[in-house]
C-alpha cells in the first residue's frame, strides 16, 4: 500500500495508535464525531482569520485576544492566514493536492519578512497546554524550504486559555538537517505500516472512551463520574 501524505496531526495519530489511525484515516471505517471543543476551536480560528485577513472585528467574547493579533499584524513582512502548505519527498514546495505531495499542513498565521531574512508563524491552540514542539518545527522547516531568503523563524503556539503566555521557539536555517532527523524514526514506522499493511493497537488512556474505534478489544466506555 502506498503511504498517504502525512501531516503533524496524522503522524501524531499514528504514533498514538496505528490501529486507530488506520480506521480513521486509511480505511475510514469510523468517523470521529466533532466534539464541542473541536467546534469551538474552528470558530476561534475563523474569527482570528477574519480579523487578520479582512480586518473584521473580533466578536465580543474574543476581544481579549485583540492586543495579541494587533501586535502580530504590526510586524514587518507579508501576511498569510490559514496557508495550506505541502512538500514533496525532496523537501521542495509543491501543491497541496499534487501527485508528488509527501507532507501537508496548514499554518494559521505567518509573517514573512524577506528584507530582514526572518519570519514568524503562529498556531492557535484552544485546548490544553502541551509540550510537543514538532508542529512548530515542521512549520519552520516549511518556511525554510519555501523562502530561501529566510534564515530565522520564530514559531509560536498561542494558547487562547493563557493569552499572555505563548510558547515561542526560534529556529535557524543551519538547524534544518538536525530538525528533520527528529521525524525519521516515526516516519520509518509510518512507511513500514503502509508497506506491510500492519496496524498494531497501542493501548493507552485514550482507549477509555476517547477513541472512536469501539470494536477494538482495548476500547472501554468512558467512566461516568458520580
pLDDT number for residue 224:
65
Please name which of 167, 182, 203 lies closest in space to residue 8, comparing C-alpha atoms.
182
CA atoms lying within 13 Å on the CB side of residue 130: 11
Task: Parse the chain into domains and list their residue ranges.
Answer: 1-33+200-226, 34-182
Q: How many CB atoms lie within 10 A of CB 110?
A: 25
pLDDT number for residue 225:
63
Q: What is the pLDDT of residues 37-89, one digit of tens each?
A: 999 999 999 999 999 999 999 999 999 999 999 999 999 999 999 999 999 99
Q: What is the pLDDT of residues 184-224, one digit of tens each?
A: 999 999 999 999 999 999 999 999 988 999 999 999 988 76
Q: What is the pLDDT of residues 116-148, one digit of tens each?
A: 999 999 999 999 999 889 999 999 999 999 999
User: Which pTM was predicted?
Assistant: 0.92
The three cell numbers locating residue 226 = 458520580
Amino acid at each position: 500500500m502506498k503511504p498517504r501524505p502525512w501531516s503533524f496531526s496524522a503522524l501524531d495519530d499514528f504514533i498514538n495508535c496505528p490501529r486507530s489511525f488506520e480506521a480513521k484515516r486509511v480505511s475510514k471505517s469510523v468517523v470521529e464525531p466533532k466534539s464541542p471543543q473541536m467546534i469551538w476551536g474552528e470558530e476561534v480560528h475563523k474569527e482570528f482569520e477574519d480579523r487578520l485577513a479582512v480586518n473584521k472585528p473580533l466578536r465580543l467574547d474574543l476581544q481579549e485576544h485583540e492586543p495579541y493579533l494587533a501586535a502580530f499584524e504590526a510586524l514587518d513582512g507579508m501576511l498569510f492566514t490559514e496557508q495550506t502548505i505541502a512538500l514533496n519527498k525532496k523537501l521542495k514546495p509543491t501543491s497541496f493536492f499534487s501527485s508528488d505531495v509527501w507532507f501537508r499542513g496548514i499554518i494559521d498565521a505567518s509573517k514573512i519578512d524577506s528584507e530582514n531574512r526572518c519570519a514568524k508563524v503562529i498556531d492557535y491552540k484552544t485546548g490544553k497546554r502541551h509540550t510537543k514542539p514538532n508542529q512548530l518545527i515542521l512549520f519552520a522547516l516549511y518556511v525554510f524550504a519555501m523562502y530561501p531568503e529566510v534564515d530565522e523563524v520564530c514559531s509560536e503556539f498561542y494558547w487562547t486559555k493563557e493569552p499572555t503566555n505563548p510558547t515561542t521557539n526560534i529556529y535557524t536555517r543551519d538547524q534544518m538537517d538536525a530538525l528533520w532527523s527528529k521525524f525519521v524514526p516515526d516516519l520509518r514506522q509510518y512507511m513500514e505500516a503502509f508497506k506491510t499493511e500492519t496496524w498494531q493497537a497501542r493501548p493507552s488512556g485514550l482507549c477509555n472512551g476517547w477513541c472512536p474505534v469501539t470494536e477494538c478489544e482495548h476500547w472501554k466506555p468512558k467512566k461516568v463520574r458520580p
